[in-house]
Amino acid sequence: MSQVHSIAVIVGSLRKDSINRKVAHALAELAPSSLKLSIVEIGDLPLYNEDIDADSPPAAYTSFREALKGADGFLFVTPEYNRSVPGALKNAIDVGSRPYGKSAWGSAKPAAVVSASPGAIGGFGANQHLRQCFVFLDVLCMQQPEAYLGNAGTFFDEHGKLNEKTRPFLQNIIDAFAGHVARTLKV
């Protein structure tokens, strides 16, 4: 039996009915049995402030960091705000990377970025900015296939069900990610 890898899914949008949250759930449903995807919430993280992190960090910081440390890899599903990552997502990256020298993102863990937007360019700016952060965090991002999901408002019906036209594309992404995880973790 092959090993099951725990993947922390970080959704950049805080809205409960966001397109990106729907995409994250669709990817979890399509994931092969070698991956167990779980959303790690970022909405309750206070803005990173070293003063409140020093002696007794907020419980939200601690639980978030523990979730990251317990993961074998990461899947980021995010919209683009102002040609970059949403502030809540950048804050989550900062919280997870501190205190300096004790990053909860780990060392050389596999990751992938899926950016989804109702617009035509599919969150390209957010996708690329996240990849820049990964270099410092020592997170190994899947290079191909790239996943910029433009016109993402059309992917789901009024009940939140993924349409059949989009399913093969998302299946390709999650299958490629499973391969990336296996190669990175050498299993």
> Cα–Cα distance between 137 and 143 in angstroms, integer?
16
Say what the pTM is: 0.95
Average pLDDT of each block of 10 consecutive residues along the chain (187 residues)?
87 94 96 98 97 94 98 97 95 96 94 92 92 95 94 90 94 98 90
Q: Is the dihedral of CA 150, 154, 158, 161 positive or negative?
A: negative
Question: Which domains can be identified in the chain, with CATH numbers?
Answer: 5-185 (3.40.50.360)
Write the CB contacts of 96 (distance below 8 Å, at least 6 apart in sequence): 64, 65, 68, 103, 104, 105, 137
> Cα–Cα distance between 92 and 167 in angstroms, integer?
29
User: Is residue 144 exposed (0-12), middle (13-18) or buried (19+ Cβ within 10 Å)?
Assistant: exposed
Q: What pLDDT score was predicted for residue 187? A: 63
Q: What pLDDT score was predicted for residue 119? A: 84
Of 51, 23, 186, which Cα lies nearest the Cα of 112?
A: 23
Tokens representing 24? 């994250």
> Cα–Cα distance between 13 and 41 in angstroms, integer?
10
| Exposure string over 108-137, b if 16+ CB within 10 A, otherwise e | ebbbbbbbbbeeeebbbbbbbbbbebbeeb
In degrees, rounded to 5, the angle at the alpha carbon of residue 121 between the alpha carbons of residues 163 and 9 is 60
Write the CB contacts of 105 (distance below 8 Å, at least 6 apart in sequence): 68, 74, 93, 96, 97, 137, 138, 139
CA distances from 121 to 3, 33, 78 (A): 36, 31, 13
Tokens representing 12? 């950049």
